[in-house]
Amino acid sequence: MKALPLTASEIADELRALPSLSRQTLAGKWGALYGAPPPARTSRSLMIRAVAYKLQERAYGGLSPATSRILGGPKEATVEKPPSRELRPGAMLLRVWRGTAHRVTVNEDGFIYCGRRYESLSEIARAITGARWSGPRFFGLKSHDQA
């Protein structure tokens, strides 16, 4: 590959020539422009587009910082805290299980389900399903990731 083209005409000529280049030549251009060979199963079409982009970027400059931000450039990792799922007395939980709606009322000292007081949501989930469940998960208060 020759030195970076200086004129718009030379750049246009290089871009026009890309589709006729062999896969091996394209891989060589990729390596020269990106500093590493293309990934093993990179399609010829992608190599043509990537080499064309890099040639133009080097000749005319890359994206402005504002455009990079708009297009979703690198962002700082932020950890979002899940919304609070604190249960307050008087709150009502509803879960439909096998076609039947089950309502639970949060009480100051437990939960009320079908007129009976329970210590935990897990007890109620077990009464409804007949199996051991995490009560908060059964009633949608915890996702699978949080459990």
SS3 per-residue string spanning 107-144: ECCEEEECCEEECCHHHHHHHHHCCCCCHHHHCCCCCC
- For residue 8, is pLDDT > 70? yes
Q: Are 11 and 59 in contact (CB under 8 A)?
A: yes
What does the alpha-carbon distance between residue 123 and residue 33 come to, in Å, rounded to a whole number?
64
* Per-residue pLDDT at 87 exceeds 90: no
Residue 54's pLDDT is 92
Residue carrying the six token digits 């919304």: 83
pLDDT band at 77 (very low <50, low <70, confident <90, very high): low
Residues counted in the chain = 147
Of the pLDDT bands very low, low, confident and very high (cuts 50, 70, 90), residue 139 is confident
Q: Where are the alpha helices (DSSP H) in the chain?
A: 8-17, 23-34, 44-60, 65-70, 121-129, 135-138
Q: Identify whether the C-beta of residue 106 lies closer than 8 Å to the C-beta of residue 92.
A: yes
Q: What predicted TM-score, i.e. pTM, was given to this entire model? A: 0.46
Find all residues with CB under 8 Å of 107, minimum gap 6, and list them. 89, 117
- Among 115, 123, 122, 1, smallest CA distance to 55 is for 1
* Mean of pLDDT values over 114-130: 92
**What is the model's pLDDT at position 142?**
75
